[in-house]
Amino acid sequence: MEATIALRLPRDAASVPLIRQMLDAALRSLGVVPDIRDDIELMLTEACSNVIKHADPSDEYTVSATVHNALCVIRVIDTGDGFDPHRLREAAPGAEGGRGVQIMRALADDVRFDNRREHGAIVCLEKRLSFLPDAPLKAG
């Protein structure tokens, strides 16, 4: 079994709770355990809020999430100016910003930032899934 959700969204803050809720509901239907769903909600939110905050000048972005072989792969793609992931600094202890990437790195099993100067940023997040004993099908 393989499941994919893909959305083309306006670069609008209201899109973030929408995709978060949609993916969470899909993962719940598949029987993914709540802790993993919480982590995925947060990783996804960080990647999407970054598009809203930083991905000027794009006005749309896409999110796709695929579940296959007990792995969830999320791709958030914008058409903004992109950024250089190697130039990110760790947030200072009392700093307000700069924790999004830190959180993604902490929660995802794998994070990749990809960039093409004229095509914006691609954030790819992977998370290994665990399922409740009564999960339908072998979603794995």
Partner 1 sequence: MLRIEVGNPDTTTVRLALSGDLDFTSVSELSDLTLADGLHRLDVDLSGLDFIDSSGLAALIRLYHQAEEAHAVFQVTALTPYLRHLLHTTALDRLFRLPPA
Ligand X SMILES: Nc1ncnc2c1ncn2[C@@H]1O[C@H](COP(=O)(O)OP(=O)(O)O)[C@@H](O)[C@H]1O
Provide the minimum distance between the beta carbon of 82 and ligand X in the complex, in angstroms, as a whole number.
6
Residue 49 found at the interface with partner 1 (CB under 8 A): yes
HEC secondary structure over 63-85 = EEEEEECCEEEEEEEECCCCCCH
132 binds a copy of itself (CB under 8 A): no
Site residues for ligand X per CB under 6 A: 46, 50-51, 53-55, 78, 80, 82-83, 88, 97-101, 121
| Distance (Å) of CA 11 to CA 3, 50, 59, 60 | 25, 10, 5, 5
Q: Which does 88 bind (CB under 5 to 8 A by kind): partner 1, ligand X, a copy of itself, none?
A: ligand X
Q: Give the C-alpha separation, 17 to 19, whole Å.
A: 6
> Of 121, 35, 28, 34, which is closest to residue 79 (Cα–Cα)?
121
Residues in contact with partner 1 by the rule CB under 8 A? 13-14, 16-17, 20, 35, 38, 41-42, 45-46, 49, 52-53, 91, 93-97, 99-100, 102-103, 106-107
